[in-house]
Structure 1
Amino acid sequence: MARILFIEPFFAGSHKQLLDTLISGIDFEEFGYELLTLPGKKWHWRARTSALYFAEVIPRKHVYEVLFASSVLNMAELIALRPDLMPCRKILYFHENQLIYPVRKQQERDFQYGYNQIISCMVADNIFFNTLFNLTSFLDSIPSFFKLQPDHRPKNLPEMIRPKCKVLYFPISIQNSPISSEVRKTDDTAGLHIVWPHRWEHDKGPDKFFMVIDALIEKGCKFRLSILGEQFQQIPLVFDEKKLQYEASNNCQVLDWGWVNRDRYVDLLSSAHVVVSTSEHEFYGVSMIEATILGCFPLCPWRLSYPEIFPEKCLYRTENQLVKQLKYFCKNPNASRNLSVNLDQFKWISLKSQYEEALLLKKEVNQCSAH
């Protein structure tokens, strides 16, 4: 019987990618595992109600020792509904935190999502965050978050939660494309290839990015452009507007615009020169790290999780600095190839043992059994 139970209420994107990496990269033959998921859509409803769903579908007879879930799950609700799971080692993984997740207006912030994550932390035994930025921003924001509560506010929550917290970087397992050096040389001759590979939502800063691209065109720079990333029902209008504008431009050659399959994604990143972020929100940055590992030179804002991950040469403080750097690369595409960035510490091969230890695969644990 399975000794490790993985639960993911939002099985898509990086949430799915993490579990796929763990399950394919660790030998669970001795321990056994079970994976319970819900489709990666309707995020708000997953956060509100998934605990009740999982309480109903988790087997009543089990020998689980470890319960691993993302912070989308209200773990406190699950344990209250299924007290037989209480003796398990309860591990909570934060891809993001709802205390500082950006919203257009403060009054739109739903108190419940952040509250769910806080009470889940109270129940969890181990809490892992994908970056120190994610960890510190969560703990530091708890007191101000509860100021939204009119009275009888809880006290000392950060002090109670902090000892259980640790940074465990998200593991990157992307494989390089078999693109030859000759193809790269051809791409270098064809001009700078800029990639923007992010979710098509306002918090990823598409308006700022397109302002930068407009500035390059106004300065007479010639380059190639790929706008990649996941799209949802409500796509900012600027994407359609800019696609038409750039396709009509003599300076900007649009290569890809929208979602592409994984093989095409890897090929693009393996041949491109520069990958750019203009995000107003980032707790980690999987796409930026993947692109860098595949050979792109990253240009990231000097904020959020980026200073923790990327060296100073990759960071810009203003959009004007970003324009200047891209203008230089437009004139010297090969220059980006000579600026190597080592992100080996974020690869799966470097993090595997840490995840094995986190899942208690290297030590004896007490069984959480129900019969």
Structure 2
Amino acid sequence: MDPGPEEILILEPFYGGSHKKLIDVITSNLPSHQYKLITMTAKKWHWRARTSALYMSTQIPVYHKFKILLCTSVLPLAELLGLRPDLTKLHKIVYFHENQLEFPVRVVKDRDFQYGYNEILTCLTADKVLFNSYYNKDSFLSHIKSHLKLQPDYKVKNLEQIIEGKCYVVYYPMDISLMDKYLSLVDKTTSNTLHIVWPHRWEFDKNPEAFYRVLKRLDNNGYHFKVSILGESFNEKPDVFRELSRSLKESLLHCGYVESLREYYKILNNADVVVSTAIHEFFGVAVLEAVYCGCIPVVPKRLSYRELYLEQVEEVYDTENELYNILGDLCTRKEKGELNKDYRHIALQFESNKWFSEFVKLLSVN
């Protein structure tokens, strides 16, 4: 495919984090004259999911020659097409970083029906629906029926069958060259103490309480380790981070969001192990970045981790006790100088240049 001038319209209502990285990979591989990118800042996700269609409709040129519309699932595509019917003739492609049908909530009644409903409508109006993992795709399709059961009446059936025919799994791309650039600027330190990194959002769905319980148990039983807590925090931080900072302060190397990519990759480069205790993960970019930087992934046998790691990694677990035993063993092996595993080949499978050569085929209208 060789798109002409501004044939691709790219819309991203939440231009930050993994959403930004994906768009940047795509646009860096396209000549600037072939696309038009319209973004909104990565703030107030809930409002972006509710209202971005109206704003986007005012920013898209009235006169255009677009043939392809590419957006992420944050955008209510059906609303946009209602506001801008001239866009209905475009080949519409949606990328799902996550889905709201499977996204965990503390209390079922707290789930906002409209988010998931909008995603279903988006899929029905799109021509192609891309998911970043089979887990993401399968969990979305399998929850459509139960989500729509929340309606009191007039329920439409068999929507998952209509949507499934449009679905593709397109794993998230890893910008290896960018990581190499920063890794070349940092030094790797040596130590006999295991360095554990936890690079996730500070929210309940990443299950920081389980991580803290395991660390505290390791500490109480005399294991020596260092830990770096990374990831972004928001207004409502789980209380466990305050307790972790207090009771494990002797083991804590870093606690907080790292703005500088150079500093972020420096921490990953000097860590030995990356841990996930997530109860929700549709891909896991942060874990994969740490793996490329040399960390051993210690991840649960669930969610997207099952398809990415289960057949390639030994350090996977089912229970909190298994996580404790794995980390305890790694602490001991590190002290003995026996920690020499290399899982970087897993991240290399998703290298962005190879990824784009496959992705561009999906831009075809055929």
Letter in 1 for 2:266: D
Deviation per CA, 1:5-50: give whole Å up to 9, x if none: 11011111111111011112x1325x61111111111111111111
Percent identical = 45
- How far apart, in 1, do the equivalents of 2:25 and 2:235 lie? 28
| Structure 2 equivalent of residue 41 of structure 1 | 43
Kept in 1, the 8 Å contact 2:199–2:231? The answer is yes
8 A Cα contact 2:292 2:343, kept in partner? no
**Coordinate RMSD, CA, aligned:** 1.5
TM-score normalized by structure 1?
0.92
Larger deviation: 171-180 or 140-149? 171-180
Find the residue that maps to 2:191 and give its secondary structure. helix
Cα deviation, residue 178, structure 1: 2.4
Which one of 109, 112, 115 corresponds to residue 114 of structure 2?
112
**2:293 and 2:344 in contact (8 A); partners too:** no
**Shift of residue 58 of structure 1?**
0.6
For 1:178, the equivalent position in structure 2 comes to: 184
Larger RCO (CA within 8 A; separation ≥ 6): 1
What aligned pairs does 1:208-247 form with structure 2 within 5 A after superposition?
208-247=210-249
Q: Distance in 2 between matches of 1:337 and 1:84?
A: 57
SS of match in other structure, 2:30:
coil
Q: Could you tell me the TM-score, scaled by structure 2's length?
A: 0.93
Aligned 1:348-367 pairs, distance under 5 A: 348-360=352-364
2:25 maps to 1:18 = no
For structure 1, which segment, 333-342 or 158-167, has the greater mean C-alpha deviation from structure 2 after superposition?
333-342
**Aligned equivalents of 1:335 and 1:342: distance in 2?**
20
Is 1:332 aligned to 2:333, yes or no?
A: yes
Moved more, 102-111 or 254-263: 254-263
Aligned to 1:258: 256
1:106-151 Cα distance to aligned partner (Å, 9 max, x none): 0000000000000000000000000000000000111111111111
User: What amino acid sits opposite 2:12 in the alignment?
Assistant: E
- SS of residue matched to 2:10: strand
Correspondent of 2:6 among 2, 6, 24:
2
| Contact 1:3-1:33 at 8 Å conserved across structures | yes
Residue 90 (structure 1) shift? 0.2
SS across alignment from 2:238: coil
1:281-314 CA distance string (max 9 Å, x none): 0000000011101110000011111011113513
User: Take 2:42 and 2:125, find their aligned partners in 1: how far apart are those partners?
Assistant: 24
Query: Separation in 1 of the partners of 2:318 and 2:256?
Result: 27
Which runs of structure 1 show a deviation greater than 2 angstroms over 4 or more consecutive aligned residues?
186-189, 334-342
Aligned length: 352
| Paired amino acid for 1:355 | F
2:117 & 2:236 partners in 1: Cα distance? 27
User: One-letter code of the match for 2:345?
Assistant: N
Is the 1:297–1:336 contact (alpha carbons within 8 Å) kept by the matching residues of 2?
Answer: no
Letter in 2 for 1:132: Y
- Measured after TM superposition, the shift of residue 358 of structure 1 is 2.0
Contact 2:281–2:303 (8 Å) recurs in 1: yes
Indicate yes or no: 2:350 matched with 1:342: no
1:126 to 122, 125, 128: 128
| Alignment partners' CA distance in 2, 1:62 and 1:134 | 34
Does the 8 A contact of 2:315 with 2:326 survive in 1? Answer: no
Gaps of 5+ in 1: 367-371
Deviations 1:82-116 (A, max 9, x none): 11111111000000000010111000000000000
> Equivalent residue for 2:324?
323
Are the structure 2 counterparts of residues 335 and 309 from structure 1 closer, same or farther at C-alpha, using a change threshold of 3 Å? farther
